[in-house]
A and B are shown apart, each in its own frame.
Chain A
Amino acid sequence: MAERGWLENWVNGIVQPLYEVAPWIVHLVPILWILILIVGSVLILIWAERKVSADIQSRVGPLHHGPYGLFQSIWDALKLLTKEDTIPKQADRLVFCVAPYIVFLPAILAYVVIPVGNGLIAADLNVGLWYLVAVGSIAVLGIIVAGWASNNKWSLLGGMRAAAQLITYEIPMFLSVVVIIMMAGTLSLDQIVRSQSGGSWSLAPPDAPFLNWNCFTLPGMIAAVLYLVAALAEVNRQPFDLPESESELVSGFNTEYSGMRFGIFFVAEFSNTALVSGIAATLFFGGWSSPIVSEGEGFWRIFGDGVLWYFVKITILIYCMMWVKWTLPRVRIDQMLQIAWKGLIPLALINIAIAVAHVAWVGA
């Protein structure tokens, strides 16, 4: 039994007395903290996106609501709630209303298996990665039907592009994940993180435990790059944001959405960003394991293995994703498909061969 992190001990301290009162509380706790995690990360990410983009564009960004404009996201969310709810006259009403939730659902579902901290995982499925693969594909459906149901040719074009793009880029994404499965020998995300913090592949010297991370192996490095590029395409971020390309398709598949339905798409995009960063951090960059060796007690335990490092890693990854978004132009649909089919997928297949060699070499 692995030792528990400090945060989990603290949470348990609160939950334990409640559990004595009402045993069903223990099922609510993970749901609650996933929702807090998602909502909190989305609010902060929206603010961060605006500040980072402002910085790159030599502007200032939100300033007025809260210190450094931190409460801007809350006001934006309230504004979206008060907007008129329009549904185009000839739109397919049921599908139109359900589509945003289909896109948002996978983000929530996928968080169930992400280990945010030492022992902090909602459900440690032993088929965690398979579950992630399956759940991540649901979002594609939501975008396509959103484009179709809007009864708008521009949205339809956006939906069609999404179909091509998202389905194509799932392949290199999952091929790169296969490499990790081979190297870690398990599908459980918690085990993958533990294997990177000095488990059975411990080749690293004791004062540099981070060299155990998967990204410092050759197949892992290639897989990390492949995964991050494919993840950009999967979450519709530039340079791959064709389905909602603002300048060409006037918002693509979410042109006709207003108010909170648009808000759900928006929230889904940001929570997906945090999600793929989280998955990348977990699979390649050691998840919640710390790059420094910390034996401190009390407050200093925060710098040991735990939640803090998970958030630091996803912050760095998300900052890089935003940096790329605001710097690069957008690719065209055929060029994007060429990148996937002629570049990423062959590379991913070669990488699997490299991983086989790596596993054989390390095992022997």
Chain B
Amino acid sequence: MATHGRKAPLHNEEMLINMGPQHPSTHGVLRLVLRLRGEMIESCRCVIGYLHRCHEYISERNGWIRSLPLTDRLDYLSPITCEWAMALAAERLAQVEVPERAEWLRVLSAELYRIASHLVFVGTFGNDLAAVTMFLHTFRERELIMDIFEKLTGQRMTCHYIRVGGVGWDLPAGLDREIRQALDVIESRLREYDDLFTNNRILRARTEGVAEISAERCRAYGASGPVARASGVDFDLRRDAPYGVYDRFDYRVILGNRGDCLDRFTCRMEEMRQSARICRQVLDGLPPGEIRTKLPARFKTPEGVAYGAVEGARGECGYFAIGDGTEAPYRLKIRSGGFSNLHLIEDILVGWKVADVVTILGSIDIVLGDIDR
């Protein structure tokens, strides 16, 4: 730009750039409209809805039982989360008792999938930062969990394991030992990732101090899960709004103190270790019994409202249901952790560089299926 006069300031062009729905690092179909000045971001607008599949509408039309398999497709990296939340909402509305063994199996599957989801996070975070090897190594470990679920449910990713009133299948013989072996392998590889990646100077330089989010901002924006806990918000639904049998197990809730990208990363690494700890406790103490309560042939929920929320890998995933005495909820609202977490992006990206966009977005760890529902 031409500057006239000696005192005119140096004028930098402002550039409007579109990190479009198709991009290697937006973790799904997310559109970020960025206003840049040089490499610095001045403002950011999030455009979502590219993966909106009308789950709420479908559930209201199809009913509880027939739309439970669809919930796998929301947060497809840890499908047990949304399945459990929907089952919780139905059970709380209809006052259904879940057998003890089923509750323990629910915990086992949820924690195994939390490990799998965080492994994907670590891998894609590394991939975004161009440590491509991390991606392949963590997916190799994730395959162990996928194999376990394939033996348990017949499916790797969209497993439809949790049903209203219990779980779908019981542990086959020998899977107990395979799960323990997988946990051993994963824990040893986590130590390897710490050496290779977490303590890497370049990673630290790129994530330490980047995009610090304060605890007040997390609370104000409704952020939950590792994002909020890394900023110091001491809230974990498993401990503070208990569901299932989580109060029987001994585990630590991981808190960070600065809330920067490195804290979010290390929180998730530690959470994997805690999940492995919970899984071992479940396997050690699994009680015998039924895995599913017998429901009437046409399962109806009475009138009333209920909110069932679980602590997913991405935060609080909840189903708010208004029952009306029929087989389908009158209104089903899906509260997804990623939706509120992603809202933070519009604020925290300002002032950082283009190269930090992928770091920050990756550290929030979103899944667009969960956000757009």
Contact = CB atoms under 8 A, between A and B. Distances in A.
Given A57-B137, A329-B130, A329-B131, A334 B353 contact: yes
A245 B25 CA distance: 11
B12 to A, nearest CB: 12
B202 A248 contact: no
A288 interface: no
Interface string B13-57: 001010000011100000000000001000000000000000000
B133 A326 contact: yes
B126 A329 contact: yes
A329 B17 contact: no
Contacts of A335: 202, 205-206
Contacts of B137: 57-58
Contact of B24 (A157, A238, A241, A250): A250
Interface in A318-363: 326-335
A250 B353 CA distance: 16
B128 interface: yes
Contact of A333 (B129, B130, B196, B355): B355
Contacts of A154: 17
B156 to A, nearest CB: 20
A57 B132 contact: yes
A247 B200 CA distance: 19
Contacts of B206: 329-332, 335
A250 B18 CA distance: 12
Contacts of A250: 23-24
Contacts of A328: 130-131, 200, 202
B25 to A, nearest CB: 5
Contacts of A246: 24, 130
B10 to A, nearest CB: 16
A239 interface: yes
Interface residues of A, number: 28
A332 B196 contact: no
Contact of B133 (A56, A241, A248, A334): A56
Contact of B202 (A58, A331, A334): A331
B17 A153 contact: yes
B354 A248 contact: yes
B170 to A, nearest CB: 34
Contacts, number: 80
A328 B39 CA distance: 23
A79 interface: no
Interface residues of B, number: 30
Given A153-B15, A248-B358, A329 B203 contact: yes
Given A157-B39, A335-B206, A330 B17 contact: no
Contact of A247 (B24, B136, B356): B24
B354 A247 contact: no
Nearest to B203: A329
A153 B354 CA distance: 12
Interface in A48-105: 53, 56-59
Contacts of A239: 130, 202
A57 B196 CA distance: 13
A333 B353 contact: yes
Chain A CB within 10 Å, residue with most, of B24, B130, B203, B358: B130
Contact of B140 (A56, A58, A242, A248): A58
Nearest to B207: A329
A327 B196 CA distance: 8
A248 B25 contact: yes
Interface in A218-254: 238-239, 241-242, 245-250
A330 B202 contact: yes
Contacts of A245: 130, 355
A17 to B, nearest CB: 52
A331 B130 CA distance: 9
B354 A157 contact: yes
A333 B359 CA distance: 14
B357 to A, nearest CB: 7
Interface in B118-139: 126-133, 136-137
Chain B CB within 10 Å, residue with most, of A53, A245, A329: A329
A268 B199 CA distance: 34
A329 to B, nearest CB: 4
A111 B358 CA distance: 38
A245 B206 CA distance: 15
A286 to B, nearest CB: 31
Contacts of B357: 248
A153 B196 CA distance: 34
A344 to B, nearest CB: 15
Contacts of A249: 354
A247 B127 contact: yes
Chain A CB within 10 Å, residue with most, of B15, B129, B137, B356: B129
A53 B205 CA distance: 24
A59 B136 contact: yes
A249 B203 CA distance: 19
Interface in A99-144: none
Chain B CB within 10 Å, residue with most, of A56, A153, A248, A326: A248
B131 A247 contact: no
Chain B CB within 10 Å, residue with most, of A59, A153, A330: A330
Contacts of A327: 131, 133, 196
Contacts of B126: 329
B355 A248 contact: yes
Interface string A20-60: 00000000000000000000000000000000010011110
Given A246-B24, A248-B355, A332-B356, 8 more contacts: A157-B39, A242-B355, A245-B355, A247-B127, A250-B23, A329-B131, A329-B206, A330-B202
8 contacts: A59-B136, A153-B15, A154-B17, A247-B24, A248-B357, A329-B131, A332-B205, A335-B205
Interface of A: 53, 56-59, 153-154, 157, 238-239, 241-242, 245-250, 326-335
Interface of B: 15, 17, 23-25, 39, 126-133, 136-137, 140, 196-197, 200, 202-203, 205-206, 353-358
10 smallest CB-CB distances across A and B, nearest first, come from A330-B130, A329-B129, A57-B136, A329-B131, A332-B355, A247-B128, A247-B25, A329-B202, A153-B17, A57-B133
